[in-house]
Amino acid sequence: MTDAVAHDIELDASGLNCPLPLLKAKLELNRMPSGAVLKVIATDAGSQRDFRTFARLAGHTLLLEEDEAGVYRYWLKKA
């Protein structure tokens, strides 16, 4: 586990199944100013595909993603 990327807000979506981690992240990003970084923690394997696609389509930057023993971490920089 690393916190190499500074973040403004952390969202723990552990234990939630698709699409809830992404929906919660989207709601949190809507409240954040442009340029802010959201760290998301999830345990749903489908979140990998979801967050990559969401970042690309919404214009956000996926700064880093980690997969450690079934725990997925994402750092998203809001567009």
Dihedral, CA of residue 4, residue 24, residue 14 and residue 74, to nearest 10: -20
Query: Which residues are within 8 A (CB) of 10 and not within 5 positions of it... i.e. 6 or more apart?
Result: 38, 39, 40, 41
**Pick from 33, 31, 38, 30: nearest CA to 5:** 38
Mean pLDDT to the nearest integer, 50-64: 97
Residues above pLDDT 70, as percent of the chain: 96
Q: And the tokens for 50? A: 């979801």
> Which residue numbers are catalytic?
18
- pLDDT band at residue 4, thresholds of 50, 70 and 90? confident
Mean per-residue pLDDT, 5-11: 96
Q: What amino acid occupies position 56?
A: R
